[in-house]
């Protein structure tokens, strides 16, 4: 028997009564017994007085809501309730560490839609690039497509085409020089 006169078997029976019949008197006895102990436990886990009080209240509310899930064959009432409190403390710590997102953060803002002029400029540039690509030797055009459009690393291109890595790099360099020349100063 502990200081409050409630033995573990009695505490288990009280939780079962809350779970089966929503017994308010049983809940009051559990609250009176566990709330101060849970608060002290949470403070030993590093919670401040106000946070410990809030989490203890939440633990007791969870006891009320989930008492029907309690199984005295798996754990004692005190183990079950202190586990609830510990998990609530862990959740609170995680929430404290999670950064608050600022809705005005530029990275979170949707991209502004392109203006019609800008869209036309992009379309013209794309057409010019496609035309310049047709002027490249077939081998260079294929390597440029693999490197820039398929975003494959040079070593993978070399393996796929059965070429030495140096040859792939040379063809990319030569192709880029020809594209710059074909596109003029805009490239």
pLDDT in tens, 171-183: 999 999 988 888 8
For residue 31, tell me if it sits in a domain: yes
Name the more confident of 167 and 187.
167
What is d(CA 178, CA 98) in angstroms, rounded to the nearest whole number? 50
For residue 1, tell me if it sits in a domain: no
Q: What are phi and psi of 139, to 5 degrees?
A: -65, -40
pLDDT digits (tens, 9 = 90+) for 10-27: 999 999 999 999 999 999
pLDDT digits (tens, 9 = 90+) for 81-124: 999 999 999 999 888 887 776 677 776 666 666 566 677 777 88
For residue 127, tell me if it sits in a domain: yes
- Two tokens at 106? 């530029």
For residue 109, tell me if it sits in a domain: no
For residue 174, tell me if it sits in a domain: yes
Number of domains in the chain: 2
- 62 and 142: one domain? no
For residue 18, tell me if it sits in a domain: yes
The pLDDT value given to residue 108: 67
Q: Please name the residues in contact with 16: beta carbons below 8 A apart, sequence gap of 6 or more.
A: 67, 70, 72
pLDDT at 75 over 70: yes
- 157 and 91: one domain? no
For residue 104, tell me if it sits in a domain: no
Model's pTM, two decimal places?
Answer: 0.52
- 20 and 76: one domain? yes
For residue 24, tell me if it sits in a domain: yes
- 18 and 89: one domain? yes
Beta strands in the chain (DSSP E): none
What is d(CA 175, CA 187) in angstroms, rounded to the nearest whole number? 13
The pLDDT value given to residue 114: 58
The pLDDT value given to residue 58: 96
The pLDDT value given to residue 167: 92
pLDDT digits (tens, 9 = 90+) for 23-69: 999 999 999 999 999 999 999 988 899 999 999 999 999 999 999 99
**What range does the domain containing 92 cover?**
8-97
- 80 and 29: one domain? yes
Question: What CATH number did the domain enclosing 29 receive?
Answer: 1.10.1740.10
């Amino acid at each position: 028997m502990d200081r409050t006169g409630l033995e573990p078997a009695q505490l288990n029976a009280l939780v079962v009564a809350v779970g089966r019949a929503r017994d308010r008197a049983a809940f009051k006895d559990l609250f009176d017994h566990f709330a101060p102990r849970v608060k002290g436990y949470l403070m030993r886990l590093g919670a401040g007085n106000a946070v410990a009080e809030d989490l203890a209240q939440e633990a007791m509310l969870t006891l009320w809501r989930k008492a029907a899930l309690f199984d005295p064959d798996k754990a004692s009432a005190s183990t079950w309730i202190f586990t609830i409190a510990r998990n609530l403390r862990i959740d609170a710590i995680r929430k404290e560490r999670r950064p608050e997102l600022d809705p005005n953060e530029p990275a979170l803002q949707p991209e502004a839609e392109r203006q019609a002029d800008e869209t036309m400029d992009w379309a013209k540039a794309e057409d010019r690039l496609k035309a310049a690509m047709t002027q490249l030797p077939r081998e260079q055009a294929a390597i440029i497509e693999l490197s820039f459009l398929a975003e494959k690393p040079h070593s993978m291109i070399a393996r796929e085409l059965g070429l030495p890595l140096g040859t792939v790099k040379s063809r990319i360099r030569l192709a880029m020089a020809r594209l710059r020349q074909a596109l003029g100063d805009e490239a």
